[in-house]
Structure formats: structure tokens, C-alpha cells
Copies of this chain bind each other. A is one copy, B any other.
Amino acid sequence: MSAEPQSRQRRTRRRGNVSPPAKRDVNYRTLRNPFPPTPVFSEDRVEAIHESSLKVLEELGMKVLLPDARRRFKEAGARVDEDEEMVYIGREIIEEALRTAPRSFIGRAGARHRDVVFELGSLMIQSGGGAPHATDISRGRRPASLRDYEELIKLTQHFDVMHMANPLVEPQDVPTHLRHYAFTKAVLTLTDKLPFIYSRGTPQVRDAFEMVRNFRGLSEDEFNADVHCYTIINTNSPRQLDVPMAQGLIDFALAGQVSIVTPFCLMGAMAPVTVAGALMLSHAEALAAIALTQITNPGAPVCYGAFASNVDMKSGAPAFGTPEQVKANLGAGQLARKLGLPWRCAAGCAANVNDAQAAHETQMSAWGAVLAGCTVLIHGAGWIEGGLTVSYEKMITDMEVMQIFAELCTQTPVDDSEIGFEALAEVQPGGHFFAAQHTMERYQTAFYEPLIADWSNFGTWTERGEKDATQRANETWKNILHTWQGPPMDEVRVEEMEAFIARRTEEGGAPPES
């Protein structure tokens, strides 16, 4: 690709006139999903799944282990069998809940530019969450510690494309009756994004709410009037809601905070072996949980959710990134749109190491979630071993994919100057555009700058030590942590929080419910 003398001359002449282009400035913080939602079922079959779910709730019922939740369902008109702890929920209860559940609400973060909108059409992304283990190629695989949680939440804070602070790994080195203090402190002080609070029983939730209120400087009324934190509620599929999860739904609804309801339905294991069957079960359980929030506090913010994949029928092992997970994601999107509620969906990965399988599985399932029109995409970065481990390196390599999704949410300029007839006229046949005016005006901002991709040729790459993406990602996360600066914090409030934790610790903390 040799330069034509003529265009080289132009380059020199014109460069003087061109003011240096602005550096690329992208906003990954507020995303709208640009993809047309992809259906897998005809509309009448979506209706058939929904009807079957209503029939399940009416005729087969849900086992609800918390007496207070059964009482609330009963007062709302459900038939309750106290001996069997079974609740049979009529469709009128579900319909009323779907009438009062809000279609759109704002999540208030620690800084206004981090606020997020829960509604169909929004796209919010989270990293992998809830793993008992952490791994990186420098320190190896280990039970996750508070240090791991703190490091990983710092990494997600670094990336604007991570829209909420989430429960990455379980800090197993902190005793369970004190763990929520350490966790909530980290999620409030190391990030300014919408914080996650675990639902492990009312005493812990009450502590955490108090920490959020005090740290944000909110009265109880102010706190209750807006969403300042969120939790994730997993049912015990099939058709069971346990004590801490039911308490969480009630506690968060009463406080006007958002529960993201997510039945975890593995086809062939805790759910029917078919995509349609797993979604029917998942949908029924989600509707029951949503109903509990609306019975408790009509209008309380709540997020529909689905996380369905299949198992390997030879071993029973969970599988992710499969065509069945993609189809389940797409079908769940159809059910969510039928309800009109914001909803969460998930990527997933069953690989044991950050290899090509791991990359393919996470990206494949993430596409399923994005094409399903999900509002919140969970487990988008770092999740391996079917959620048993968060990998620091995979966090980084997946982040590239999430950033590219964010790029795909941006407009593609196409006015006449972008089409560039003049640019074509400037370059001879067989020539090149490196020096064209059109290029000079745009080259610094035209393209996404990769986080981890190395586009150097084989010779250069070899000379530089043949580092694969995982090795480069290892350097990347270390650099981020090394130079990390937290969001601005009110040191007085941090001290008050520490005093609160010290007092509550002295009082014996709060063990989780089970």
C-alpha cells in the first residue's frame, strides 16, 4: 500500500489546517438496547406458557416456608395449606400484582451519573456474581476472601460498562454473622454504583439498610421513597420459596427497594427438560415472588428474572452458553415483554479456565440475553465453573465483549460527510486513505480502542513474549488495582459506618436466617 505522491502532498498541506481531533469520549453508563428482540415462540405459544404458569400456581401451588409470607398470601385471597406449607395463588392475585408493579423506576447510586433506569429497553450489565471461589493465574484458585471481594469490586468500579455493584464472590474469611457488615461497607465505599444487599434474613437486611441510609445521608422516608439498593431472590426450584428469600422479598418491598427475582432453572434437573417447560416453571415462580412484593406493598419496585440453562444429561453437570440457554433467554424475553416489566437475564460459562470455551460460552449466552432484550445482564464478565469461581483474568477478557456491546448501543454516524464521497475523490484507485483529510479529521476518535485485544502481527507478538489474552489480562487487572483511586467518599460517614459496625459486632452481629 504505497502512498500516491499526490495524496501525500495533500496530507502535508492540509495537516496544518486540521485542529487536533478530540480524544474518543464514550458514554457506557446509559445504554439502550438497539437490537430487535428475537422471538423463539409464536405469540399464542407465549400465551400458552403464561396460562400454564398461572395454572401451576393455582392448582399445584408453591411451597412457601416462611409463615409470614403464607399469611400475606392468605390475606390476599390465596388458598393456604398450613400443614403442607403450600400456597395456591389464584390468577386474580397475579393479575393485580402485575397491575401495581411499576414498569419503570430509577436506581439511585452514590453519584447521580451512576443512576440507572429499570425499564424495558434499558441495558445494564453486571459481572459474574455469587461465587464461593476466586482465581487468578498469579495466586491460583482459592476460597474467596474479603480481599478478593474488595479487589474485584474495585475492578468493576473501574469499568463504566458495569452498571451496578454486585456480589462477585463470597468473602468466606469473614464469619457469617458479621459478613454482611464487611460486604456492605465494601459495596458502599469502594464503588459509587447501585449497591447489592444480600437477603439472608431480616436482621441482616435491617443492618444493611441502616448502613445505606446513614452513608447516603437519607432519612427512612427518603430511603423508602426511592431505590437505593437491590437484592437478588432465587427461588428453590421447583416451586419452593425458602425463609430468607421470602423475608427478602417482604423486607425490600416494605422499604421500597428492588428485588430482582430469578428462578434458576436447569432443564432436566430442577426444571423440565424442555426449554418451554423450564420457562413455564421459571415464569410461575417469578410471578409468585412478584406477587408477594405487591401484596406486601403495592407499587414496590420489582424486577422479573429468568436464568435457565440445561444440564449435561450424562453427568448432571450444569452447562452454559448452549443453544438451549440462548433459546431460554429469548423465550424469557418474550414472557417479560408480555408482562411489561424490567427483567434480568444471564450469561454463563461452565469452563474451568479462561480459554476459548470460556470465551465462547459467555459471549454466546450474553448474545442470547441481549437479543432477548433483557434489562439487566448478569454474569457478563469473569464467571467460570458455572458460577463456582470468578476469574480475575476472565473479568478483563469478557469486559472487552461487554464494552463492544456498549459500542453497539451507540449511533453509527451516516451524514453525507461520514459517507465521504469527497474522501473517495481524493484517493486514487489502488491508493490508501491513511492521509486523506476525511481520515485525519477522525482517526483519533473513529474506532473503539481495545482493552485487551492485541492486533500486532505474529512477528511482533512473538518478540513481545507470545502473551496470550489471559496473560495480558493478568497485567491489566494488576495495573488497574495498582493505580486505582476510589470514588470521592465522605470520610466522616465512613468513620460513622465503622463505628456502627464496631457496635453491632460487639452486640453479636446478626447470623443469617435459613
Question: Which chain B positions have C-beta within 8 A of A413?
Answer: 274, 276
A266-318 interface with B by 8 A CB criterion? 267-277, 280-281, 310, 312-313, 315-318
Which of A55, A238, A359 has the most C-beta atoms of chain B within 10 angstroms of its own C-beta?
A359
Q: Which of B41, B277, B351 contacts A469 (CB 8 A)?
A: B351
Contact B313 A446 (CB under 8 A): yes
The reply to whether B273 and A412 contact each other, CB–CB distance below 8 Å, is: no
CB proximity to B under 8 Å, residues A116-148: 141
**Would you call A404 an interface residue if the criterion is a C-beta within 8 Å of the partner chain's C-beta atoms?**
yes
Per the 8 Å Cβ criterion, residues 394-412 of A in contact with B are 394, 397, 400-401, 404, 407-408, 412
Min CB–CB distance A478 → chain B (angstroms):
17
* Number of identical monomers bound together in the oligomeric complex: 2
Q: Are A355 and B356 in contact (CB under 8 A)?
A: yes
**Interface-lining segment among A174-182, A426-434, A485-493:** A426-434
A462 to B355, CA, bound (A): 15
Shortest A373–chain B CB gap in Å is: 12
CA distance A473 to B357 in the complex (A): 10
Known: A236-B430, A432-B270. A353 touches B466 (CB 8 A): yes
| Cβ of A76 under 8 Å from chain B | no
A49 within 8 A of B: yes
Which residues of chain B come closer than 8 Å to A108, judged between CB atoms? none
Asked, given contacts A404-B322, A429-B238, whether A52 binds B446 with beta carbons under 8 Å apart, the answer is: no
Contact of A447 among B238, B322, B361 (CB under 8 A): B322
A357/B433 contact (C-beta < 8 A), A38-B36, A324-B447, A331-B412 known:
no
Is the Cβ of B360 less than 8 Å from the Cβ of A45?
no
Q: Which residues of A does B touch, CB under 8 Å?
A: 1, 34-36, 38, 40-42, 45, 48-49, 52, 55-56, 60, 62-63, 86, 141, 236, 238-240, 267-277, 280-281, 310, 312-313, 315-319, 321-324, 326-327, 331, 350-361, 363-364, 367, 371, 385-386, 388-389, 394, 397, 400-401, 404, 407-408, 412-414, 416, 418-421, 423-425, 427-434, 436, 438-439, 442-444, 446-448, 450, 452-458, 461-462, 466, 468-470, 473
Known contacts A273-B439, A274-B418, A327-B412, then 20 further A-B pairs from the complex at CB < 8 Å, ordered by chain A residue: A34-B38, A41-B412, A49-B419, A60-B425, A238-B424, A238-B428, A267-B446, A268-B433, A269-B434, A270-B432, A272-B424, A272-B436, A273-B436, A274-B420, A276-B418, A277-B438, A356-B356, A356-B473, A363-B363, A364-B404
